[in-house]
Amino acid sequence: MSDNYREYPWSRKGEAYDEMMSEEPFDEEEEFDPEEADQRITQFVRSAEELSGPPVEELADQVAALMRTALRDLEAIMEGKPHNKVLATQLLLGQRARGMQQHNPEQWPLHAASSLLSGLVIRGAKS
């Protein structure tokens, strides 16, 4: 068992993974069909319902609630800070994430933090 499994048990290498991809190779000149993409996502979500564990809808709600809490905490940290300080923090987090190895799991929380900060940066710029 790898260290990655102990840290992130949801990332199991042996688990079957069906990307619901077309048999045909991607043609860059073919127009993107958002309806088809949405149907494929819906199909994939439905297929995941057959797997063990809570419903996907419930998991999505839990993750969204966690991120709303994180955003409120982030707003409290950044309250009253100059706009450029918030922007600089967002840029530094993105830079740190990009500086990590591609498969380093620590880069994703940094990307998420940078994404959450982007909303504060945009709001700050408009006010």
Span 20-42, average pLDDT: 76
Longest dimension (CA), the chain: 53
Band (30; pLDDT cuts 50, 70, 90): confident
- Rounded distance, CA 70 to CA 117, Å? 11
Long-range contacts of 89-96 (CB under 8 A, 24+ apart): 89/117, 90/114, 90/117, 90/118, 90/120, 90/121, 93/117
Helix, strand, coil in percent for the chain, rounding step 5: 60, 0, 40
pLDDT tens profile 60-105 = 999 999 999 999 999 999 999 999 999 999 999 999 999 999 899 9
Torsion angle in degrees (nearest 10) through CA of 11, 35, 115, 26: 60
